[in-house]
Each structure stands twice: as structure tokens, then as C-alpha cells.
Amino acid sequence: MTWQALYDWLDARLQIGKLIEFARHKQVPVTRHFYWYYLGGITLFLFAIQVASGILLLLYYKPTAETAFESVQFIVTKVPFGWLVRSTHSWAANLMIFTAFLHLFSVFFLKAYRPPRELTWVSGMLLLFLAMGFGFSGYLLPWNELAYFATKVGSDIAGAVPLVGGFLKTFLRGGEDVTGATLTRFFGIHVAVLPMIFTTLLLGHLLLIQRQGMSPPFIPAGRPSAPPREMPFLPNFFLREAVLWAGTLAVLLYLSIFFPWELGVKVDPFAPAPAGIRPEWFFTFMSQSLKYIPGKVLGMDGEVLGILAFNAGAAFLVLVPFLDRWAARGRRHPFFTWAGIGIIVFMLTMITLAYVKPY
Amino acid sequence: MSNRTDAVLAIPILAALLFLVFPGAARAAHEPAGERPDTCTACHQAVGGPVAKPLEDRKADVHAAKGISCADCHGGDPARMDMEAMAKAKGFVGRPARRDVPRFCGRCHGDPAFMRPFNPAIRTDQFSQYQTSIHGKRLAAGDTKVAVCTDCHGVHSILPANNAQSRVFPVRVAETCGHCHGDAEYMKGYKIPTDQLANYRESVHGELLLKRQDLAAPTCNKCHGNHGAFPPEVTSIAGVCGQCHVINKDLFLQSPHHAAFDRRQLPECATCHSNHKILRTNDQMVGVGEKALCIRCHAPGSAGYKAAEQMGKTIAELGGAIDRGAAKLAEAERAGMEVSDAKYDFQNARTALIKARNEVHIFNPERLNKVAGPGIELAEKGYRAGQEALDELGYRKRWSLIPLAAILAVVVGLVLQIRRMEGR
Amino acid sequence: MEGHGSQGSGAPGRRGFIEVLLGGGLLGLLGAMLYSVGRFVIPPKVADAGLSSVVAGKVKDFGSNSGKIFRFGNRPGILVRTPSGDFRAFSAVCTHLNCTVQYRSDLEKIWCACHNGTFDLYGKNVSGPPPRPLDAFDTAVRGDDIIVSRKA
């Protein structure tokens, strides 16, 4: 039985020939910004790693306050390669959010969100929020001290949102305080709710890209432009991506061996909060900047003001395709360029401060 | 009262009497003081000055709270308005002389029947105990510098010993005893040291009681007695310390040191640990090293010296094994390996050290080995577990080269394939 | 010229080498992944941890007035059968300085060898330095097994 015979059999039933044709027509412009195009694929690959390692962890993880920590300890010490699966899952999570942010900013500055790709951008932003939700919910699952207190602080901040804050906090925590009920809730959100929503949005995001093709490079109106060289996505670009994906595997292996993810200390709710509580790094730009806002600003609660500012920033980013009307006309409006630079500088500064000088 | 005092006070008293009217009810023994006639309070209050001070003091006094009036202790007739209130014929005792104070208090406090309505469980042997004490004996022999009841308990503002403000509340006992015993001037002529309070403050017991307010820690009365205060006989010191340090006491009494110390009139536990300045122990105390105590008596070459050397070595070996094991486990943990199982088992090694330190007190190297030996094994087991974890890490690092090689092959293959495909 | 399918330069030997390299690498990677995942999914022999309850012993091993240390998660526990026959379980970590306690059938109490601390059969500290009672666990007998679990 040859590959050809197998192909013919499948094609007769599933018309995969048409699917392959559909896949083949995608072209990738080869410009000096070419390398940024890898970021989306790497993020996707890391997500796949998360799903696979997450399913493996599910075989042994026990989501109750009495058993969660011990079950992770069991995985890491007693299950063969458990250390590898767990460290991979923790590292890949952080790498994925990092590459997602890089992907966001590269698309932002390349202005690939121009019509007709507004929905791709919006779905991408929502995917980022979901990814951060994955990070927040997953962080608590080992039920160790740092995670417990970080969740406490994080859900406290959620509670500061005007109007719906109280409900939001109770909904997240499954009660008044962070308890075993919170753990169960976060577990359900992490392994069922978020994966379902994320996968749906992801498919939409990928389908849009496949149908609309890669965004042509942004050439400011008035500049002479020759049509760029193009490379077929399949197999040329994809093979290159595969190189990076293989490299990512090597990086994850190296990190799991040389920088294994810590287990920490089991939660003791009666112990005082340890010094240096901090959420995961991708939340620190928010937690750190909130520390600098004075208690009361113009009569309003400082923290609430900060949260509203972040919401406004997020809304701005989500709506950027609709706000940046100049991009469609080939104009690089300085406001958006500076807004993007400003956001990056702000985030990097806050994250650095959170680690170097938190107080 | 002296005639001179009489003369001085007569005028204001007579003046006061002109303005005061009292009910003349007969006095019953246990009526509340407020309902009984009490000219003492009224007069002394009216006169004011030094004689009114007791009234001020009595505001925080347990006797006053229980309804004991001035006359109940000092005698006299509280129904009378004149100086006849203080007549000897009416049983007036006045201010008892120092050498009569214990008997004065003991009149009531030594009478179980009298004390029962106030507190059925209170002890009533204070006076008889006092008479056996150094203070009591010296007082009987005529020395009025020694402590009497009022020196420690106060005069008119006496609080129960379990009241934190009382001068005989456990935390304050050392300070109260030290009031005299720590005063070199006052204690001149007595042949005892005056550094007990200072020493006690530096001791581990002093730190626990005075700084950390741990009421389980002993103070003067725990070892010397309360009312029957007497330095313990040198041959009963182990019993005294053994009130709390039972295991050490039991082992010591079975050891060769027991008979040897008693023969030489050495103060048992205090020989090595001191009496008042008992400091935190450390493992260097046993052995033949610089800081060891054994070599104070045992000359090199003697049987005692050899035993001390062995025991010192054993304890040091156990301590060292624990330190090494703990360090190795910490190293493995820092390297990211999970060693909580090994750490759990390792705790037993530390327990063995605590037990070994106790076992030293029987001064028998074989017995010490029996306790320390398992501890050393456990500590070494912990060390091996830490080393195994580090070895496992090395194992992972080496074996990871296989998948890394495979990834490298894939990467190189892909790159070559791309180049071939694109004609380069 | 790029494009799918062009043979480009290179002898068939080169193409074969690439195929071997790529194929070999992928096979090796797949093998490594299958091996590690395969071993991962097979449950280890060790009784699993993270328990809120554990089988602490068998009824037939305990006469009345006896006690035994068992492991509960990361801490030792002590299972006691009282003189009247019922089972009680406590944390075996002495509340004074964390030594492991033991059962003394002569005293009918739980005792700590380190400083002579004593706990009664309800776990209450009755003499010696321990400042607090021992933490108590729930016990249940199922058949011949004695199950000890954390208090609800």
C-alpha cells in the first residue's frame, strides 16, 4: 500500500485535495519584517505543548486543598518523567505569554490590523486575555504559599472594580476567601471553560488568517513600492517554522533540567503572608504600577482609578483597528506609534521594578 | 504608741471627733467592713498625712477586698471614737515589731478554719514553713534584717500571687528577692554572694521568664522554696532540677557522677551548669576540647578522660553528620530537586541528637553510642538521599543529550531540506 | 528559485542523506517522546501521596493499650488503641520541639522522650513542656483496615 493509494482513498471520501489546495494558497511576504511572522506560530506551538502536558498532568493531579500540593509533589518526585512534564508545562506557559505579547506588538507596529483584518486582531486580543486567564488560574493549582497569596491579592484587586467588583471577587473565589472552593473553581476554569473558549477563538483566528492570507506589508502612502517577494506558506515557511519549533522543544528541555520549576511550600492560611508576594510576571506591570498610585486621587479611590485606567488601555488596544483610520489610508499616525512605544516602555519599567525594587 | 506621738495627734483627733458621728452597732466577725463600725478609717482619713497612707494603699489590697478591716488585724475597738479605740485592753496590737510580723500574719493565715470561708484551697502552712527557713531561723535568733512577710508581700496593698501586679507574681519574684539579695551594701556581713539576680537575668531561665514571659520557667522560689526558703542541700540538687528536667535527673542519679559528686560535696547539676547563671547548653561542653567541662576534673589518661573523649567524639560525630546531611539536602533542593521525603525522614536524626544530649547525663559512652548510633545512620541516610537527588540531576543532564541530538538532527535536516528545495 | 517540488541542485546522495537525517531525527524525537510519555502514564508502584486519609494499620495488629507510628502525608502520626478498645489517632509531632512522640502502655499515655512531655488519650498536654495538645485525626474501621483521615 503506497502513500499515493492512501491519499486517493482519503481524497475520495474527504476531498482532502480541496483542503490542501486551500492551505497551499497562503503566501508569506518576504520583507525585512519577515522574522516577526514566526511569533504567532511559536505561540500556537507552545499552546499545543500546554494542552499535551496539561492532559498528562491531569492523570495525576488532585484538585482539592488537602491533596493538590501533595499530588504535584508526587508527580515531580515519584512519577517517571513527571518532573519533565510539570516543568515543561510551567515554563511553556510563561514562554507562550511572552511570545504572545511579542506577537501582539509586532502586529501592532506592522499595522497588520488594517481592514479587512480587524476581527483577526480583536480575536487575537481576546486570546491574549484568555491566555492570561489561563496563567492566573493555573498558577494557583499547585496550592503553594506564593500562589495562594498572589491569588488573594489578585482577586482583591478584582474586587476593587466599580459596581461589579464584589460579585466578581466572590465569583472568582467561590466564597469570601481564597479556600479549597477557589481551587476547585480555578481548576474547572483552567481545564474546561478556558480551553473550550480559547480553542473556539483560536480556530476563528486561524481560519481568518487562512482565508484572508498574510497582511501585505505596510507601506506608507507616497513611498515607491515594488510588490514584495512571496514565499509559499506550505511547505517553505512551514519548514522554517518547524526549525523554530524544534528549537523550542530543545529550550524547554534545557529549562526543565537546569531550571526546574519550584514546588514551594504548601499553603498554611494561618501563617502570615510571606514577604515579596508577587503575581506572575505578566501581571506585575499592573500590580507594581498600582502601588504607585496614591490612596485617593481627586476624591476617587486610587486603586479603582488604576483599574479603570488598565481597562481603558485594554479597550484602546482591542479597538485600535477601528480607531486607527489613518492606517487604512497608508498613513503612520504618530499617536499610535508613540502609544505603542509608551505601552512597551511602561510595561518593561513596571516589570523590572517589580523584581528589582518592589517597595 | 509613744507619748510623743500621742501628744502630736491628740489635737487633730479631738478636733475631728467633734465633727463625726458613728453608729454604735456591735461588731460581728465577718460583716462587710462597710457595714461595720470603722472609726479607724474615719479618724486616720481625717487626720491625713502619713497615717492616712494605709488607707490609700488598701484600695488595691486583697484583704480589704475580702472585707478584712483594720481592727481585724491590728485589734482595738473600731466602734469607739476616742483614743480608747487603740487600747491594749481592747487587743490593740498596733504596728507589730519586725520580729513579730510572721506570727502576726500567721494568726489568720495559719488557721485553716479561719481561712476556709475566704479560700478553702489556700495553703495555711506559710508560718510553719517560714520557721524552718533561713529567714525564719535567723529572725528567731534576733536578726531583723532578714525578710519577713511584709518585705515581699507588701503591707497594706497585698495582692494574690497570681495577680500580675503582685510583687510575688512569678515574673517579679526574682526582682523581689533581689531587692535584698542583690544589694551588696545591705548584705554586708552575710557570707553569701550578691550576684544571684544579675546571674539569673543572664540565664536561660531568666530569659524565658523575664523576656518571653513564659510562666513555665523557674524562678527563685521554684528551687529554693517560698516561705521555707533554704538553699537546697548539695545532695538534693538533682531532685530540685529534676522537677522539670526529669530525664536528665534520672540518668544522672544512675551515673557514676552521682556518688562521686555527693562524696566531694559538689553541687550535682550545678557543678557543670551553674546554679543561677544557667546558660544555654552546647555540644562543646562534653568532651576534651578547649571549652569542655569534663577536663576540669578528669586528667588526661584517666578513665574519666577517656570516657569524656569518646562521648565528645560521638556527639560531635552526630552533630557533624546532621550538619552535612542537612547541607547536602539543601544543596539538592536549591538545585531544584524534590527532597521533601528525605527531609521528613531526616527529622528523626535531629530527634536522636536531642535524645543523645540527654543521654550524656549517664556518662556512659556505650549507652551514648546506642542512642547516637541510629541518629548518625539516619543523618547519613539523609546525606545519601541528597546525593542521590544530585546524581539524578546529573543523570537527567547526560541523558537529555539523546533527545537534544535528535532535535539537532531534525533542525539540520530541515535546514538542508529547505536549502535543497529552494535551490541554494 | 523557490517553490514546492523543484529538485534543485544536489546529487541523489545528498537528498538521501537529508532524508536519513530528518527521518532519523524525527524518529528519535518521536521515540524519546513516546518513551517518556509511556513511562509517565504507567502509575508508579508506590502508594500515592497527597492523601486526606491513609490506612494506618490493621485491626488484628493492635491489642488494646497499644500504639504505633504511621506516616500521614509528610508528617508522622500516632495510632493508639485505648485500654477500652477504641482507636484514636493524632499527629505524632510533639508540640514542644517537634520530636516524634510514642505510646507508653505503662502510663497509658502518649509520651515524648525528648523532654518528658506527656499527652493523655485525648491528645491533651497534661505534663511537661508541651504547650498545646496534639492535633487529632478522625479514625474509621473498615473491615480489618483502620483508616485515619484529617478532621473535616
pLDDT tens by residue, B65-114: 898 888 888 888 888 878 877 888 888 888 899 999 999 999 999 999 99
Cβ of B241: how many Cβ atoms within 10 Å?
Answer: 23
- The residue that leads in pLDDT, C56 or B253, is B253
10 Å CB burial of residue A21 (0-12, 13-18, 19+) is exposed
Indicate yes or no: CB of B407 within 8 angstroms of CB of A246: yes
CA distance B262 to B266: 6
Set of chain C residues whose Cβ sits within 8 Å of the Cβ of A56: 37, 40-41
pLDDT at C102: 92
Report residue A7's pLDDT band, with 50, 70 and 90 as the boundaries: confident
pLDDT at B158: 93
Is it true that the peptide bond before A142 is cis, omega within 30 degrees of 0? no
pLDDT tens by residue, C63-102: 889 999 988 877 889 999 998 888 999 999 998 878 889 9
Residues linked to residue C68 through DSSP beta bridges, in sequence order = C79
Q: Decide if domain A20-218+229-284 falls under CATH 1.20.810.10.
A: yes
Provide the residue count of chain B: 424
**Helix (H) or strand (E) segment spanning residue B26:** none
Distance from CA of C45 to the nearest CA of A (A): 9
Which of 5-34 (C) contact A at CB < 8 A? 29
CB A269 within 8 A of CB A148: yes
How many beta-carbon pairs under 8 angstroms link A with B? 53
Is it the case that residue B188 has pLDDT exceeding 60? Answer: yes
CB B242 within 8 A of CB B250: yes
In a shared domain, residues B106 and B37: no
Residues linked to residue C147 through DSSP beta bridges, in sequence order = C55, C140
Is it the case that residue B17 has pLDDT exceeding 60? Answer: no
In a shared domain, residues B137 and B68: no
Cell match 544579675: residue?
B198
Indicate yes or no: CB of A73 within 8 angstroms of CB of B338: yes
Indicate yes or no: CB of A74 within 8 angstroms of CB of C50: yes
In a shared domain, residues B104 and B84: no
Residue B287 lies in a domain: no
Q: Which residues of B touch A (CB under 8 A)?
A: 336-338, 340-341, 393, 396-397, 400, 403-404, 407-408, 410-411, 414-415, 417-418, 421-422
Distance from CA of C84 to the nearest CA of B (A): 29
Domain boundary among B196, B231, B266: B231
Interface mutation target, options A240, A255, A258, chain B, most CBs of B under 10 Å: A258
Q: Decide if domain C53-149 falls under CATH 3.40.50.2000.
A: no
In a shared domain, residues B20 and B88: yes
First CA to last CA distance, chain A: 69
Residue A45 C-alpha cell reads as 506551538
Set of chain B residues whose Cβ sits within 8 Å of the Cβ of C2: 421-423
Indicate yes or no: CB of B355 within 8 angstroms of CB of C114: yes
Is C39 within 8 Å of chain A by CB? yes
User: Domain with B329 in it: what CATH number?
Assistant: 1.20.140
Is A33 within 8 Å of chain B by CB? no
In a shared domain, residues B120 and B183: yes
**Helix (H) or strand (E) segment spanning residue C142:** strand C136-142
In a shared domain, residues B132 and B195: yes
Dihedral angle, C-alpha B92, B97, B98, B101, nearest 10 °: -20
Provide the residue count of chain C: 152
The minimal CB distance from A239 to the residues B336, B393, B418 is found for B418
Distance from CA of B229 to the nearest CA of C (A): 24
Residue B258 lies in a domain: no
Residue B249 lies in a domain: no
Residue B3 C-alpha cell reads as 507619748
In a shared domain, residues B309 and B368: yes
The complex's ipTM works out to: 0.82
Q: Which residues of A touch C (CB under 8 A)?
A: 24, 56, 59-60, 62, 64, 66-71, 73-74, 78-82, 84-85, 231-232, 234-236, 246, 249
Cβ of A150: how many Cβ atoms within 10 Å?
Answer: 21
The minimal CB distance from A257 to the residues B397, B415, B418 is found for B397
In a shared domain, residues B119 and B227: yes
In a shared domain, residues B119 and B223: yes
Is it the case that residue C24 has pLDDT exceeding 60? Answer: yes
Chain A, nearest residue to B421 by Cα: A236
In a shared domain, residues B18 and B89: yes
Distance from CA of C62 to the nearest CA of A (A): 28
Please work out, in degrees rounded to the nearest 5, the angle formed at the alpha carbon of residue A339 by the alpha carbons of A335 and A342: 135
Alpha-helical regions (H) of chain A: 3-14, 16-24, 38-58, 68-77, 82-109, 118-140, 145-159, 165-173, 180-188, 194-212, 238-258, 281-292, 302-323, 325-328, 334-356
Indicate yes or no: CB of B336 within 8 angstroms of CB of A260: yes
Is it the case that residue A49 has pLDDT exceeding 70? Answer: yes
Residue C102, helix vs strand vs coil = strand
Number of domains in chain B: 3
pLDDT at C120: 93
- Touching subunits of A (3+ CB pairs, under 8 Å) are B, C
Residue B278 lies in a domain: no
In a shared domain, residues B90 and B111: no
CA distances from residue A357 to A166, A275, A288, A349, A350 in whole angstroms, order as listed? 31, 13, 10, 11, 10
Indicate yes or no: CB of C25 within 8 angstroms of CB of B407: yes
Cβ of B384: how many Cβ atoms within 10 Å?
Answer: 14
- The residue that leads in pLDDT, B166 or C149, is B166
Report residue A249's pLDDT band, with 50, 70 and 90 as the boundaries: very high
Is it the case that residue C61 has pLDDT exceeding 60? Answer: yes
CA distance A259 to B388: 18
Is it the case that residue B223 has pLDDT exceeding 60? Answer: yes
Q: What is the mean pLDDT of chain A?
A: 90
CA distance B276 to B270: 9
**Helix (H) or strand (E) segment spanning residue C108:** none
- Looking only at the bridges linking them, the beta strands covering A27-30 and A229-232 are antiparallel
Residue C11, helix vs strand vs coil = coil
Indicate yes or no: CB of B247 within 8 angstroms of CB of C28: no
Please work out, in degrees rounded to the nearest 5, the angle formed at the alpha carbon of residue A111 by the alpha carbons of A105 and A112: 95
Provide the residue count of chain A: 359
Once rounded to an integer, what is the mean pLDDT over residues B235-260?
A: 91
- Looking only at the bridges linking them, the beta strands covering C102-104 and C145-149 are unpaired
List CB contacts of A168: < 8 A, sequence separation 6 or more: A158, A159, A161
Domain span at residue B337 reads: 303-396
pLDDT tens by residue, A310-351: 999 999 999 999 999 998 888 889 999 999 999 999 999 999
How many beta-carbon pairs under 8 angstroms link A with C? 61
